[in-house]
Amino acid sequence: MVYGTEKPPAPRRTRIVIVGVGWVVLGIPLFVGLSFWFGWWVLVGIAAAVWGTIDYAKHGDMYTAIDHAASHHIRTGEDGESRFGSDT
C-alpha cells in the first residue's frame, strides 16, 4: 500500500461533528476564560479559530495532502498520469 493512502480522510459530516463537539467542549469555555484576561483582544483569536474551523470543515486536514506530496510515488513519477494527464 502506498504511503499517504492508508487512511482515507474523514467525510465532511464527521468533520462537522468533530468541530462541533470541539467548540462546545473546548472552544467556547476557553475563549470565555481568555476574555477575562485579554478583554476584547480575544476576538482576534476567535476570528482565527472560526476561520480554521470553517476551512477544516470544508476541505479537511492539510496533512493528507502533505503526506501525499511527500510520499515516494509523487517523487518517482508513479502518479504522473493521474496528476498531469500524461505518463511521465
The predicted model scores a pTM of 0.59
**Confidence (pLDDT) at 1:** 46
Of 19, 10, 20, 7, which Cα lies nearest the Cα of 61?
10
How do residues 52-64 score in pLDDT, each as one tens digit?
Answer: 888 888 877 766 6
% residues pLDDT > 70 (the chain): 59
Q: Is 8 exposed, middle or buried (0-12, 13-18, 19+ CB in 10 A)?
A: exposed
Calculate ∠ Cα 76-82-87, nearest 5°.
60
The ranges assigned to domains in the chain are 12-76
pLDDT at 43 over 90: yes
How do residues 22-32 score in pLDDT, each as one tens digit?
Answer: 999 999 999 99
